[in-house]
């Protein structure tokens, strides 16, 4: 889901940076309200987890690969605004150091994976978890469903960003300038891959970590305590 340089036109990439700018701004403002020194290690852990889980490429036999993002997990544990910060940091390091995702596409990749994903996942988690006890099974179910829907929402937006490219940028003889696949192909492939495979990986990883943290009674559920 890491859009490389050259798949989006400069205009599309610029629009997505512009959309992310206020999100980053509000994320910084919101995190500033709750982040005390005791919680900084958890923010670092969230970013580190997201970074490393994205390295676990899962194959579609004979086809492509994909991976979990851990965005809903970070949003559940640290809140969706902190997830924006944690995952953005992870995406920036991936792009700059490892060429995983383009530098012109940091806005786009952050929009998909550090904004759409954690907020969508968190919304569905909240709906299902409600006011249940921190150790309630409803939280595990909410984490599972939220993670599945969250990563698919991100995949949908990624597919749209890829898919509009040949419509808006092509040569006179019809050759694409950037991503050559249109909306139908890009959205279908991105959604099918995540609905059928990677979404389940994200859901299982998220639910397992939440269940584990409930079992060891970790104080990490601080997002709920502080309001």
Partner 1 sequence: MMKPTTKLWIGIAVLIILSPLGLIIPEQFKAGSAWGEWGCEEMRLLVGYIPRGLEKLSSLWNAPVPDYAFKGWENAGLSTLSFAYIASAGVGITLVTACVYLISIFLTKK
User: Does residue 62 interact with partner 1 by CB under 8 A?
Assistant: yes
Size of the residue set binding partner 1 (CB under 8 A): 77
Contact letters for partner 1, residues 65-104 (x by CB under 8 A): xxx-----------------xx--xx-xxxxxxxxx-xxx
The answer to whether 129 and 138 have CB atoms below 8 angstroms apart is yes
3-class secondary structure per residue, 165-217? HHHHCECCCCCECCCCCCHHHHHHHHHHHHHHHHHHHHHHHHHHHHHHHHHCC
If the CB atoms of residues 91 and 129 are measured against partner 1, the closer one turns out to be 91
Task: Measure CA 52 to chain center.
Answer: 13
CA distance 157 to 97: 25
Segment lying near partner 1 (by CB under 8 A), choices 15-23, 40-48, 114-122, 130-138: 40-48
User: Does residue 225 interact with partner 1 by CB under 8 A?
Assistant: no
DSSP secondary structure letter of residue 130: T
| Residues near 44 by beta carbon (within 8 Å), at least 6 away in sequence | none
Residue 126: CB minimum distance to partner 1, A: 23
At 65, list the tokens.
């690969």
If the CB atoms of residues 72 and 145 are measured against partner 1, the closer one turns out to be 72
If the CB atoms of residues 18 and 28 are measured against partner 1, the closer one turns out to be 28
Contact letters for partner 1, residues 152-191 (x by CB under 8 A): ------x---x------x-x---xxxxxxx----x--xx-
Residue 9: CB minimum distance to partner 1, A: 6
């Amino acid at each position: 889901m890491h859009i490389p340089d050259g798949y989006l036109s400069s205009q599309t990439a610029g629009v997505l940076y512009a959309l992310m700018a206020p999100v980053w701004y509000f994320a910084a403002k919101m995190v500033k309200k709750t982040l005390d020194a005791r919680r900084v290690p958890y923010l670092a852990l969230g970013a580190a987890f997201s970074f490393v889980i994205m390295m676990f490429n899962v194959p579609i036999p004979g086809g492509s690969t994909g991976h979990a993002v851990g965005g809903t997990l970070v949003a559940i544990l640290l809140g969706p605004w902190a997830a924006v910060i944690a995952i953005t940091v992870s995406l920036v390091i991936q792009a700059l150091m490892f060429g995983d995702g383009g530098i012109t596409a940091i806005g786009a990749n952050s929009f998909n994976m550090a904004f759409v994903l954690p907020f969508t996942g968190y919304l569905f988690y909240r709906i299902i978890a409600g006011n249940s006890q921190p150790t309630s099974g409803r939280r595990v179910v909410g984490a599972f469903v939220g993670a599945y829907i969250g990563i698919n929402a991100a995949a949908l937006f990624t597919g749209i960003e890829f898919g509009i490219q040949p419509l808006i940028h092509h040569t006179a003889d019809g050759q694409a300038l950037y991503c050559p696949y249109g909306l139908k192909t890009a959205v279908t492939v991105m959604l099918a891959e995540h609905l059928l495979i990677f979404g389940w990986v994200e859901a299982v990883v998220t639910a397992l970590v939440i269940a584990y943290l409930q079992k060891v009674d970790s104080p990490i559920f601080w997002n709920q305590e502080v309001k």
